[in-house]
Amino acid sequence: MTAGRALGPFGDDTHDVRVAPDVVLSQKYPFVLPPLGYAFQAAEPAVDAATLRAHHERVHAAHVASLNAALAAHPSLHPLTLGELLMGLRKWPAAVRPVIRLDGSAHANHALYWKLLAPGAPSVAVPGGKLAEMIRRDFADREALQAAIVDAAAAHAGTGWVWLVKTATSRLAIRTLPEEDSPLLEGELPIVGIDLWEHAYAPRPLARRRDYVLAVLARLNWDVAGAQVE
Ligand SMILES: [Fe+2]
C-alpha cells in the first residue's frame, strides 16, 4: 500500500474498478437466491423454460447453499458483502478461499445472467449511454463486439463463462474464464456474462454452443449491461 493513497471501495488499493450497484453483490451472509423476476419461458427460444428453471432452482440454489454452509464457520467474514469477498479473495483464510472462489463467483455470475436474460422494452435491444460510447471506442460497433464474444465462447474449452468486462484501465475487453471464476476476482467489472456450462443450454448438444451464445446476445437486456458501467 502506498502511503497517502486513498483506499478503494474495499479498503484494498490493488483494485481500481468500482462494483456497480447490484443487489446480489451487496448481499452479506447468509446469502439468498434472488427471484428470477420473470416467467421461466420468457427467455425462449434462447434458453428453454425447463433448462432455465433447473438452472435457477437447482444449480444456482446449490451454489448459494454451499457458500452459506462454508461461511457459517467464519463469522469474521459475515460483515462483508459478496463483492468484497470476491474482490479481496487473497485476504481470506485459505480454507474458505476455494468455496468463495467457486460458489461466491457462481452466485454473483448467475444473478447477473438472470438479469441479462430478463425481457424488457424494445429499447433495451441495443446498448445505450456510456456503454454505447465504450463499444464504439473499443469495438467499432455492436456487431463486431457480438462476433468477438461468439468467437471467444466457441473457442473456450470446457466449462466456464464468456465475459465482456471493464478493465482496471476502463477499457472494454472480452474474457473467457474457467469454471465459475468471476472477473471480480481479478479486479475487472463484469458487464455481460454468458454461462458456457452445458447445464445452461442442455439438452442442446455441446456443438451448438455458438448458436446458444448468438441467441442469448440477440435477446440480451442491454439496459442491465449498461447499468454496470454507469
Ligand atoms: Fe450455470
DSSP letter assigned to residue 148: H
- What residues pack around ion ligand 1 (CB closer than 5 A)? 59, 195, 197
Taking Cα atoms as reference points, which of 141, 174, 178, 162 lies closest to residue 210? Answer: 162
pTM of the model as a whole: 0.89
* CA–centroid distance, residue 197 to ligand 1 (Å): 6
Say whether pLDDT at 68 is over 80.
Answer: yes
d(CA 146, ligand 1 centre) in Å:
21
SS3 157: coil
> Domain 24-32+46-116 maps to which CATH number in 1.10.287.990, 3.30.565.10, 1.10.3720.10, 3.90.1150.10?
1.10.287.990
**Residue 18 confidence class, pLDDT cut points 50, 70, 90:** very low
Query: Can you say how many angstroms the Cα of residue 207 is from the centroid of all Cα atoms in its chain?
Result: 23
Give the cell for residue 137: 471506442
CATH for 122-227 is 3.55.40.20
DSSP character at residue 13:
T
Question: Residue 115 C-alpha to ligand 1 middle, in angstroms?
Answer: 14
Q: Which of 64-68, 135-139, 200-204 has the lowest mean pLDDT?
A: 200-204
Residues sharing a CB contact under 8 Å with residue 137, sequence separation 6 or more, in sequence order: 172
CB within 8 Å of 12: residues ≥ 6 apart? 87, 88, 91
CA of 109 to the centre of ligand 1 (A): 8
Q: What is the pLDDT of residue 125?
A: 82
pLDDT grade for 15, boundaries at 50, 70 and 90: very low
User: Which residues are registered as beta bridge partners of 161?
Assistant: 177, 195
Distance of CA 225 to the CA centre of its chain: 10
Q: 9 pLDDT exceeds 50? A: no
Higher pLDDT, 180 or 198: 180
- Per the CB < 8 A criterion, the answer to whether 211 and 137 are in contact is no
Map out the domains of the chain as residue ranges: 24-32+46-116, 122-227
Nearest-angstrom CA–CA distance, 107 and 24: 8
Is 50 exceeded by the pLDDT of residue 10? no
What are the cell numbers at 10? Answer: 474495499
Q: What is the pLDDT of residue 205?
A: 56
C-alpha 116 to ligand 1 mean position (Å): 14
The pLDDT of residue 13 is 34
